Amino acid sequence: MKTRAKLQKMKESNDKITMITAYDYPSAKLSEESGVDTILVGDSVANVVLGYDSTIPVTLDDMIHHGKAVKRGAGDTFTVVDMPFMSYHISREDTMKNAKRLFQETGAQALKLEGAGEVLESIRLLTQAGIPVVGHLGLTPQTVNVIGGYRIQGKNKKDAEELIENAKRVEESGAMALVLECVPEPLANLITETVSIPTIGIGAGKHCDGQVLVYHDILKYGVDRLPKFVKPYGNVNDLIHSSIEQYVNEVKEDIFPSKEYAYDMDEEEIPSLYG
């Protein structure tokens, strides 16, 4: 099992950290078997599994349900679970209750929270209570309606400086790692050099300490359009389409099930319909 200390060491020795999202038992099991360092139960479950068009509708119970399934398949892979929309903003008490449930019931190794500002207090509270926290800056999908869409963040000097300051604050609040989503490569590089905790990039270029991508995106599985920063390493869509089309055709054409897929019985045991 990777630990916070081991992930920190990886940054220091320039050993890249790999992370992939997973949402259920098979995606976690296949990711674990394939040798990823860390798994993220992302609230992107909203988009790629549940069919919503943003992460906003996802509930704490949804994240617990998917987190538990992932942990059953993840073996001893370090697993991070996203705290969903508004589950760490209402009050200290509400934040702590939600974090306690998500951490205890899923058995995750860490929780991920988007943003800085008021959220820094939540990062501090959770860390002090014994829950490791991963921060998330840049494009933060839970605030898509405030930041004005799914677009690259920190492109001008003022925004870039603010992002660097927020990254420092996230670290100071106790976060163990920081996801950087959709920020220009040179800015992600600066942040990676500025903070001492590992940065894990998605659409943030090659200088981060690690990379994360969405399972369904890497595999082209149930998704049609991919963002610029995703490299598709497989094409599960084609595999599933051709497999299901062939199944449908073979049933229609009386090809399936052939003898090898059917159970037989002794001739004399077959009852006669006509007595």
CA 254 to centroid of chain Cα atoms: 42
Minimum Å gap between C-beta 55 and Na ion is: 6
Find the DSSP H helices in the chain.
4-12, 25-33, 45-48, 60-73, 92-106, 119-129, 144-147, 157-172, 185-194, 215-219, 236-252
CA separation for the pair 272, 275 (Å, rounded) = 5
Q: Please select the residue that binds ligand KIV; options are 24, 32, 82, 217, rule is CB under 6 A.
A: 82
HSE toward the beta carbon, residue 55, CA cutoff 13 A: 22
| Residue 43 annotated as part of some ligand binding site | yes
134 binds ligand KIV (CB under 6 A): no
CA separation for the pair 212, 204 (Å, rounded) = 10
42 binds ligand KIV (CB under 6 A): yes
Q: Please select the residue that binds Na ion; options are 37, 43, 181, 209, rule is CB under 5 A.
A: 43
Picked from ligand KIV, Na ion, none, the partner binding residue 24 (CB below 5 to 8 A depending on kind) is none
Give the closest residue to 197 by CA, choosing from 160, 228, 172: 172
Stretch that binds ligand KIV, among 4-12, 41-49, 191-199, 236-244 (CB under 6 A): 41-49
44 binds ligand KIV (CB under 6 A): yes
| Residue 44 annotated as part of some ligand binding site | yes
| Residue 61 annotated as part of some ligand binding site | no
Picked from Na ion, ligand KIV, none, the partner binding residue 21 (CB below 5 to 8 A depending on kind) is ligand KIV
CA separation for the pair 154, 163 (Å, rounded) = 7
Minimum Å gap between C-beta 212 and ligand KIV is: 5
Which positions are catalytic? 181
171 binds Na ion (CB under 5 A): no
| Rounded (10°) angle between helices 92-106 and 60-73 | 30
CA separation for the pair 78, 18 (Å, rounded) = 11
202 binds ligand KIV (CB under 6 A): yes
Which residues are annotated as part of the binding site for 3-methyl-2-oxobutanoate? 43-44, 82, 112
Which residues are annotated as part of the binding site? 43-44, 82, 112, 114
Which residues are annotated as part of the binding site for Mg(2+)? 43, 82, 114
Q: Which residues bind ligand KIV (CB under 6 A)?
A: 21, 40, 42-44, 82, 179, 181, 202, 212, 214
